[in-house]
Amino acid sequence: MKITGIRFERVFAKWAFEGPLAEDRLLRPVDIYEDFRAEGPYFPVRTAGQKPPYEVQSIFMWVDTDEGLSGLFGAISEEEARIIAGQLAPAILGENPHAVERIWDRMYRLAIHGRKGQTMQAISKVDLALWDLKGKALGVPVYVLLGGPTREKNRAYASMLGFSAEPARAAERAAEVVAQGFTATKWFVRYGPADGEAGARKNLDLIRAVREAVGPDVEIMFDAWSSWSVPYTLRMAELAAPYRPWWFEEPVLADRIGEYALLRRSVRGVAIAGGEHEYTRWGIKQLLEAGAVDILQADPTWAGGLTEMKKICALASAYGVPVIPHHGSFASAHLIASEDITTCPIQEWLLQAGWRENVFLKHKLLPEGGYIVPPNRPGLGIELDEAVITRREALALS
């Protein structure tokens, strides 16, 4: 079997969704500047005056072979598609699609100036399509090829990006997800050092409200998205201690590994999580060697695909650091199902993004009772639902 082509389509559908979208946004590193700090929440299907059903669109990629089988992955960005078609294709076309290690290495060496960021994210998407193809060719789910199953279902946590951080509204939403069966929930803070002590108190109000809403047995986590500082994180850990958060996520800028390590040594009672913005086994190895994180959050759709994530999980297990992948949806479901429960204990589920990405799919990947059942179909289990797709367009990359 040989790879004969790579193609991309922009797929459109109508989304008859009535629930909350973009009630709030997360704190961002760039919010130290007033013009950025003034920006409001954003969601890709909601514009001023628009009502459901929303028109939504995503780009999907097929890796085709001379035997008629194709690997599928999506959604991907237009920039990633351009990188794949314009830079990576010579490392892919004509290759045996089963040889995922060889193709990964060819892509990595060809794109040596793209070891991180969008180029590595593009490499990740190709790798995931190849695993989908491999699973289809062999007639088994990807988690079987990766070494699983290690469990029947993955425990999931409700990740509340886009939901209001106003304490009363957050408490209401937190109680709702617990009623749905989730045993852990993560919230995104809105205030950082530039907002002073008043902002810290507002963050604490959110933490307190979520804890009081979910009770003592549900785990709560808070994401600062690289926007706090070391002193600010230490202050928030002190204030939040009575409410027992499981972790603070990305408290400082991703490249400040020494600051992560300092926080990990200094903070008591709250784990330090990070790694979502790190790439490949080499980047992750720096975090582990520095003792920078209690919880590693590499993303299988960014950090190098499943081929690389298996290496990352092996590294992390040697250091005794659990891997809780950043989102990853289908890819994370298969990865987690292939790893032991101490290495990958739980799966993130971004509710608003997850609702949207399932619009296009025949077989939905959605939590039930706080758990995600990995797809039991050959490959990744991604299949477009022609019944809901309103139109498809070949992606013009010229």
User: What are the residue numbers of the active site?
Assistant: 326
| Cβ proximity of 143 and 337 under 8 Å | yes
* Whole-number Å distance between alpha carbons of 43 and 23: 9
Distance CA 309, CA 302 (A): 10
Distance from C-alpha of 242 to C-alpha of 214, rounded to nearest angstrom = 14
Q: Coil, helix or strand for 187?
A: strand
Nearest to 207, CA basis, from 194, 191, 196, 193: 191
Containing 91, the helix (H) or strand (E) segment is: helix 89-92
HEC string for 212-225 = HHHCCCCEEEEECC
Cα–Cα separations (whole angstroms), residue 46 to 20, 29, 54, 59, 357: 11, 24, 8, 18, 15
Please, where are the H alpha helices in 215-361? 230-240, 257-266, 280-289, 305-319, 329-338, 351-357
Ordered DSSP codes for 158-185? EE-TTS--SHHHHHHHHHHHHHTT-SEE
Dihedral sign for Cα atoms in the order 324, 328, 329, 330: negative
Q: Which residues pair with 186 in a beta bridge?
A: 159, 221
User: Whole-angstrom Cα distance, residue 231 to residue 197?
Assistant: 12
Q: Measured between alpha carbons, how far is 175 from 213 in angstroms, rounded to an integer?
A: 6
Q: Which residues pair with 221 in a beta bridge?
A: 186, 247
CB 380 within 8 A of CB 352: no
